[in-house]
Amino acid sequence: MKLILLGAPGAGKGTQAEIISEKYGIPTISTGNIIRAALKEGTEMGLRAKAYTDKGELVPDDVVIGIIRERLGADDCKNGFILDGFPRTIPQAEALDKMGIAVDAALSIEVDDGEIVNRMSGRRVCPACGASFHTEYKKPAKEGVCDACGEDIVIRKDDEPETVLNRLKVYHDQTEPLKSFYKAKGKLIEVEGQDKVADTTALVLKALSVI
Ligand code: ADP
Ligand code: ZN
């Protein structure tokens, strides 16, 4: 299965991606996680991206398209993959088409802006492995510590309130048009994001079972 996850920042794409990935045995490719890893390592790409991610702006298309082209060529993508955070603009979606990649579905997780702002304030991430948590909705077993690897979890810099508002604007302006793009191809599936992670998962898995 080749799947794209769409939805506002904080809609729960990463959380659902982890679950789908396990269930279907396919890797999740998160451009956000790849960019954060590059930032942490201080690579040239990371340094170039930092100016954009800190402000909640999108990293230039050519940078992320390059990342994806390289990553999708890896062996573990042969049986399918989940794209979390790519494409995020029409040119990125067109680049995917040009790579000859036809996705089975673009699953959009719908959540209101007000709810997004509320959620982002409680979001925590693991700086070591990228796993995501929430102080209310997805608590780690031990407070402040990553379930997967034991590292201390942190607030992402771009989850600060002003940056979140800008990211929502960027989402509506640049990413939301992708829904029409995939709808026109008959590939769009919309799911209402629920308060509980497990309730959203149930809707997501039901939607995926028919493709
Ligand atoms: P979000 O919670 O907003 O979905 P991500 O972890 O997916 O966050 O991405 C964090 C940041 O990385 C984005 O705000 C953006 O600056 C950059 N980024 C990630 N994916 C892309 C992409 N496909 N195109 C451009 N920039 C991207
Ligand atoms: Zn971790």
pLDDT tens per residue across span 65-122: 999 999 999 999 999 999 999 999 999 999 999 999 999 999 999 999 999 998 888 9
Return the pLDDT at 17: 96
* Whole-angstrom distance, CA of residue 24 vs CA of residue 187: 19
Taking the centre of ligand 2 as the mean of its atom positions, its distance from the CA of residue 204, in whole angstroms, is: 24
pLDDT of amino acid 92: 98
Question: Which protein residues have a CB closer than 5 Å to ligand 2 (ion)?
Answer: 126, 128-129, 131, 146, 148-149, 151
Q: Are 19 and 201 in contact (CB under 8 A)?
A: yes
Residues 6+ apart with CB under 8 A from 55: 163, 166
- CA 11 to centroid of chain Cα atoms: 9
CA distance linking residue 121 with residue 191, whole number of Å? 23
Nearest Cα to Cα of residue 27 among 73, 68, 76: 76
Q: For residue 144, give every residue at least 6 positions away whose Cβ sits within 8 Å of its Cβ, in sequence order, or none.
A: 124, 152, 153
Tell me if 12 CB under 6 Å of ligand 1: no
Say if ligand 1 is within 6 A of residue 32 CB: yes
Q: Which atom of ligand 1 has the smallest separation from the CA of 159?
A: 2
What is the tally of helices (H) and strands (E) in the chain? Answer: 9, 7
Ligand nearest to the CA of 33: 1
Report how far ligand 2's centroid is from the alpha carbon of 196 (Å): 22
**SS3 per-residue string spanning 22-48:** HHHCCCEEEHHHHHHHHHHHCCHHHHH
For residue 176, give both structure tokens.
């939301």
- CA-nearest of 102, 87, 94 to 174 is 87
At 38, list the tokens.
Answer: 């590059």
- Ligand index nearest the alpha carbon of residue 92: 1
Query: How would residue 157 be classed by pLDDT, with cut points 50, 70 and 90?
Result: confident
123 lines ligand 1 (CB under 6 A): no
What is residue 210's predicted lDDT score, i.e. its pLDDT?
85
Contact 12, 79 (CB under 8 A): no
Q: What is the mean pLDDT of residues 185-195?
A: 96
Residue 118 pLDDT: 86
Q: Could you give the residue numbers annotated as active site?
A: 13, 88, 123, 156, 167
